[in-house]
């Protein structure tokens, strides 16, 4: 079974550039989550979707961050313009439902903003 | 706000010994408690979870206990092996939908 697939695995870019992270959830899963992991702040939920609809984006740090889910098999997290403090590992996870169900994580995108 | 506290932050044990990691949560409505293992360069992987209708669940060398009154739950790993070395995260739901993760425990098992 294919798990959650994220791309790219690594991204290095200069500050001010637009960054787009991609995620393909597990087929049949209705909920999709974007997390950010840093040493200082640990694993933080940025936004999650149910049935392609954004439910809670209160974790999105600022307007430079946006996320979309145009269909059940694809989501993007975009940062524009990027800043060095955005450097982190970004994870996507999916589950059958948003509550009380195991979340399955991808292997993440390691983002470095120079 | 709602949070999940996890202790210890690091844990070193000898191979064959047991390891225990503890978490407390604040949302009394929480009823699902997963544990994740994260290896270097990988995403967190679910290793065991427990729901509030049971007090303990076991899967081979891994067990989780839950005390809803005290609002804490623990991960127990017995007969530890070097491949158990990783970072372990607990989590609990807030407002019944999103998970809040603990700060992680780095477990090192020495041969």
Assign B1 a pLDDT band (cuts: 50, 70, 90).
low
- Which stretch of A32-41, B6-15, B18-27, B92-101 has the lowest confidence by average pLDDT? B92-101
Q: Is B98 close to A33, i.e. CB distance below 8 A?
A: yes
Query: Closest approach of chain B CAs to the CA of A22, in angstroms?
Result: 15
Beta strands B45-51 and B56-59: pairing type? unpaired
Per DSSP bridges, beta strands A10-13 and A109-113 are parallel
CB atoms A91 and B101 under 8 Å: no
Distance CA B8, CA B20 (A): 9
pLDDT digits (tens, 9 = 90+) for A79-96: 999 999 999 999 999 999
Measure the CA–CA gap between B37 and B18, rounded to whole angstroms: 16
CB contact under 8 A, A102 and B98: no
Q: Residue B28's pLDDT band (boundaries 50, 70, 90)? A: confident
Which whole-number Å values give the CA distances from B95 to A54, A102, B54, in the listed order?
A: 16, 16, 21
d(CA B34, CA A101): 9
CB-CB neighbors (< 8 A) of A56 in chain B: 97-98
* CA dist., res. A12 & res. B15, Å (int): 39
C-alpha–C-alpha distance, residues A85 and A64, integer Å: 12
CB atoms within 10 A of CB A54: 16
Q: For chain A, how big is the Rg over CA atoms in Å?
A: 13
CB contact under 8 A, A98 and B49: no
Contact (CB<8Å) B46/A103: yes
pLDDT average, residue stretch B26-33: 87
A59-63, B39-43, B83-87: segment of lowest average pLDDT: A59-63
Residue A1 pLDDT exceeds 70: no
- Largest Cα span, chain B: 42
Please tell me the distance from the alpha carbon of residue A13 to that of residue B41, in angstroms, as a whole number.
20
Residues 59-78, chain A, touching B (beta carbon < 8 A): none
């Amino acid at each position: 079974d294919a798990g959650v697939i994220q791309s790219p695995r690594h991204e290095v870019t200069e500050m001010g550039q637009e960054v787009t992270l991609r995620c393909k959830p597990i087929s049949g899963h209705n909920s999709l989550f974007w997390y950010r992991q840093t040493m200082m702040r640990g694993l933080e939920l940025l936004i999650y979707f149910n049935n392609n609809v954004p439910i809670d984006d209160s974790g999105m740090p600022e307007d430079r961050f946006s996320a979309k889910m145009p269909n059940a098999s694809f989501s993007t997290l975009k940062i524009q313009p990027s800043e060095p403090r955005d450097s982190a590992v970004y994870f996507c996870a999916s589950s059958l439902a948003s509550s009380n169900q195991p979340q399955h994580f991808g292997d993440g995108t390691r983002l470095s903003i120079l | 706000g709602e949070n999940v506290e996890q202790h210890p932050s690091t844990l070193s044990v000898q191979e064959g010994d047991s390891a225990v990691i503890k978490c407390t949560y604040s949302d009394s409505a929480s009823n699902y408690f997963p544990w994740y293992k994260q290896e270097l360069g990988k995403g967190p992987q679910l290793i065991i979870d427990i729901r509030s209708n049971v007090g303990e669940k076991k899967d081979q060398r891994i067990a989780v206990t839950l005390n809803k009154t005290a609002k804490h739950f623990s991960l127990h790993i017995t007969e530890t092996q070097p491949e158990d070395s990783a970072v372990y995260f607990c989590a609990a739901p807030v407002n019944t939908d999103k998970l809040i993760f603990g700060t992680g425990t780095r477990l090192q098992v020495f041969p």
